[in-house]
Amino acid sequence: MSCTGIIETSEITGGAEGGLGWFKLARAIATLDSGNHTGSQYAVTMDLVSEQNGGESRIAVELTPDSARKLVGILEKVLGRGIKDGLLNRELDA
């Protein structure tokens, strides 16, 4: 297996809970690379990173590509329902 070099990053706004409690999230990093913990040849990894504590606060997730697609699908469904139910506007800035 070789590294793919596929990396995408985005600034985000949110929060996550870790061993020291809740912390603010500032950046998301997604990669497609060799699977280490999924048992699959390739995996999608997500790092949700805080700028607090020198960027040491983070949540890391490794998913099979199929599970990553399922996660994207359920996120799209929940956001779509929020729009349909009038809880969010179409621009999703609520």
Residue (of 48, 56, 46) closest to 14 by Cα position: 48
Query: Each residue of 31-44: pLDDT tens digit?
Result: 999 888 888 899 99
Strand partners, 58: 49
11 with 32, same domain: the answer is: yes
Q: What is the Cα–Cα distance from 28 to 43, expressed in whole angstroms?
A: 16
**CB atoms inside a 10 Å sphere around CB 48:** 20
Q: What is the Cα–Cα distance from 56 to 78, expressed in whole angstroms?
A: 30
Domain span including residue 50: 6-63
72 with 27, same domain: the answer is: no
Query: Each residue of 41-92: pLDDT tens digit?
Result: 999 999 999 987 666 788 999 999 999 999 999 999 999 999 999 999 877 6
40 with 57, same domain: the answer is: yes
CA 58 to chain centre: 11
59 with 69, same domain: the answer is: no
